[in-house]
Structure 1
Amino acid sequence: MIVLIIGVLLWSAAHLFKRIAPAKRADMGDAAKGMVALGVVAGVVLMVIGYRMADGAVLWGRHPATVGINNILNLLAVYLFAASGMKTWITSKIRHPQLTGIKTWALAHILVNGDIPSFVLFGGLLAWAVVEVILINKQAKPEKSTGPFPVGKEIGAIVGAIVVFGLIAWAHYWFGYPAFG
């Protein structure tokens, strides 16, 4: 479990570096980008390894209803990422669409995986996203998208989200974590 915890902490620290120590990050210039990227990649590797080897109590198991809700929430999370990059209508309503997507994704995974390693992984990433939103809001008001919002962009975000969600579901099967079963 310690490898998983270190991975979540490393991911969080790398992402929060800009918010917690903005002067230090600015002083480092482009070198900070490499350090953050290395921290993020190392965090992901440790999270994957740590999650696969972690063992802990199971408070509830998978159920067809939670699997269905999980999939709907994850499709929404992927859509929020796509919409954010395309500046669609939803980005004029949600202040932090990508971080909202992370929070949605994390909650969905906690719902469907009722075990302690999942609480550590997805709960840790949920906590990071909440802290990130709080720090961003304290430092600056995020800009919301303003119209017009072409229908083509909206359709593109929806279709893109469905395609990416399908690829993610396939990858889950490939790694031994069925997304629909």
Structure 2
Amino acid sequence: MLVLILGLVLFLGVHSVRIFANDWRSRQLARLGEKGWKGLYSVISIAGFILIVWGFGLARQQPVLLYVPPMWLRHLNALFTLLAFVLIAAAHVPRNHFKAKLGHPMLAGVKIWAFGHLLATGMLHDVLLFGAFLLWAVVDFVVCRRRDRLAGTVYPAGEIKGDVLTVFAGVLGWAVFAFVLHAWLIGVNPMR
């Protein structure tokens, strides 16, 4: 469990610098330059991600049951995850109403993904992983929205074309991950 926790601290910690230490981040960006900062950020993120994957695998070998979710919540999680994939796609597809309305659809997608998985799983390692991501996404979303309001940030208006592309990309990504990659990468078939 310690490897998983260390991975979460590194990965979510580096992704939280702008939340809790934006002035420090600005100083480091000026000192290291954009490429240097992004390089350091990427190395820490990748190290954290590797530790999360490794630590999660280790923790799954000695599971600690906290609660048993009803089967219908597992099915509901498929819908939550579908919506999360659409929102994550919205962060990358230009001129869609999701981004115009939310400003940060990827964070909204992470919140929905984590919440759905908390409903569908009940092991300690699951609660630690998904709970940490949910807490981080909630805090980051609130901070980013506040920063946008203070800066007067306005996102481009959404268009139907952007919405259609967003939904198509999200559904396609979800289908590939849910029906093929999740079982292969995670070892759990979510469609069973």
Please report the TM-score for the alignment, with normalisation by the length of structure 2. 0.85
Work out which of the residue numbers 68, 72, 76 in structure 2 matches 1:65: 72
- 3-state SS of 1:114 partner: coil
Q: 1:95 and 2:106 equivalent?
A: no
Percent sequence identity is 26
- 3-state SS of 2:16 partner: helix
Q: Return the offset for 1:36.
A: 0.7
Work out which of the residue numbers 175, 180, 183 in structure 2 matches 1:173: 183
In 2, distance between residues paired with 1:144 and 1:56? Answer: 46
| Residue aligning to 1:13 | 13
CA deviations over 1:28-53 (Å, ceiling 9, x no partner): 21211011111111111111111111
Map 1:73-88; keep pairs closer than 5 Å: 73-86=80-93, 87-88=95-96
CA contact (8 A) 1:17 1:25 kept: no
In 2, distance between residues paired with 1:31 and 1:112? Answer: 40
| Residue aligning to 1:158 | 167
CA deviations over 1:64-108 (Å, ceiling 9, x no partner): 311211110011011001122223112222232110111111111
2:114 maps to amino acid: A
In 2, distance between residues paired with 1:133 and 1:92? Answer: 15
In the alignment, structure 2 segments of 5+ residues that lack a partner are none
In 2, distance between residues paired with 1:83 and 1:68? Answer: 24
Q: Return the offset for 1:148.
A: 5.0
In 1, distance between residues paired with 2:100 and 2:147? Answer: 20
Work out which of the residue numbers 45, 48, 58 in structure 2 matches 1:53: 58
TM-aligned CA distance change 1:136 to 1:25, over 3 Å: farther
In 2, distance between residues paired with 1:155 and 1:138? Answer: 29
| Residue aligning to 2:49 | 44
Greater Cα shift, 121-130 or 71-80: 121-130
TM-aligned CA distance change 1:138 to 1:180, over 3 Å: same
In 2, distance between residues paired with 1:145 and 1:107? Answer: 26
Q: 1:125 and 2:130 equivalent?
A: no
CA deviations over 1:120-139 (Å, ceiling 9, x no partner): 11111111112222333454
In 2, distance between residues paired with 1:138 and 1:146? Answer: 18
2:191 maps to amino acid: F
2:184 maps to amino acid: W
In 1, distance between residues paired with 2:158 and 2:97? Answer: 8
Q: Return the offset for 1:59.
A: 2.6
Q: 1:33 and 2:38 equivalent?
A: yes
In the alignment, structure 1 segments of 5+ residues that lack a partner are none
Q: Return the offset for 1:17.
A: 2.3
Greater Cα shift, 94-103 or 132-141: 132-141
- 3-state SS of 1:60 partner: coil
